Structure 1
Amino acid sequence: MSGTPTPRQALILWCLLGRHGSALQSALVPKIDKADREALLAGRYVEATKEGRSLRLTVTDRGWNWAGEHLRAPLPPNFRVLQDWLERIGADLAASGRTLADLVGPPPEAPAPAAPPARAKKPSAAKAPKKPTPKQLRARIEKAYLALTGGERAKAVRLSALRAELAEFDRATVDAGLAAILRGDETARLSQFSDPKSLDAAEREAAFSPAGEPFHILWIQS
């Protein structure tokens, strides 16, 4: 990599700095190409550590210094509005004498881990309920959904609440029902939180992640 990041690599740095300098690669938008990530690693602008099924990218001191000195560095054309804002921020920092790190500030403290939800007492093997058919499981999920929304549809229901409402089933059974919805249910869909910072430990634990991409919300239409 040359001494200067490309416009797309500069955009990656700003995406990370907007999250206090560190984030899971899977949480960043737009998607990061391997070539750009490896170039930033080789240039020592970021560091990468394995976290679950994803990589956590963290801006190094070199990356912070470069960003603070290059607020006018070109970005991809589609991000002109960000380019304009960075120029305004650069002018303000120059006038006030503050640094980019002063503006971004320290990352928020991690929330205290939530107490794990109480597990339903496992029935004895002789009284274990029969495994529901796909149709029965879909109907039970919808019943739990309506119980949580007060009988209304087209409302967001968190999977943490849904799993608690379906406590009679193990996680694998509930996941099978969610997987069927994800494969092509015309009246239901799964989605993610628009702001990953709003996730607490309970939401992360309850997420449905069939291919490494977590879903946290269920919608059922009329």
Structure 2
Amino acid sequence: MTADLKPNQRLLLLTLMARGGSAVNRDLGGIVKLEAADRKALVSQGLLIQGPRLPRGSFELELTDGGWSAARKDFSAPAPSPSSAAAKTLYAVLARLGTYMEAQKLSAAHVFGGVASATSDVRPAAQAVEDAYRSLVTRPQGWVRLSALRKALPGFDRASVDAALLALLRARRISIEPVVDQKTLTEDDRAASLLVGAAPAHHFAFLD
């Protein structure tokens, strides 16, 4: 997917990721130049959502789950060709950051989209995740879909739940993995997924 995008399209996805997943288009003009056709192509590919018109003809651009995934894949992709020295440096930094994130099992949304959750106490959300799991699981250490978990926690935003799951993963209290049979996934399952390493995970289980 990443290799099929133009350099300015790749840069836009990375810029939006760095800004937490969304930004008003007028705030991006000095960073990346994107023609309307390039923007519409990203929307049609399901990587970007364009919001309604705001005052002064501006609008908000937001990464979809696919957009987050595409931007994350750029961490292990070569720099666009031809590339400036600045672009080569950027992709060298992204490669090192990607390696660190994989080693720490950190998702892009956790690093870039959940700053508040990442720096706050995740214990309330972690306890809520465990309580919801115990109420949903049908057997000890059984698997529970993330889609079911999110529906069971309407009082917690997505970033808080993601931060709690990643904290539990780092503490080796849960296993969180992709569903092996991808044909069984619903749209809700895909939308609820959490990027762990380079792959979206769809279900989890407590190990204790």
TM-score by length of 2: 0.47
TM-score by length of 1: 0.44
Q: Which structure is richer in relative contact order (CA contacts within 8 A, separation 6 or more)?
A: 2
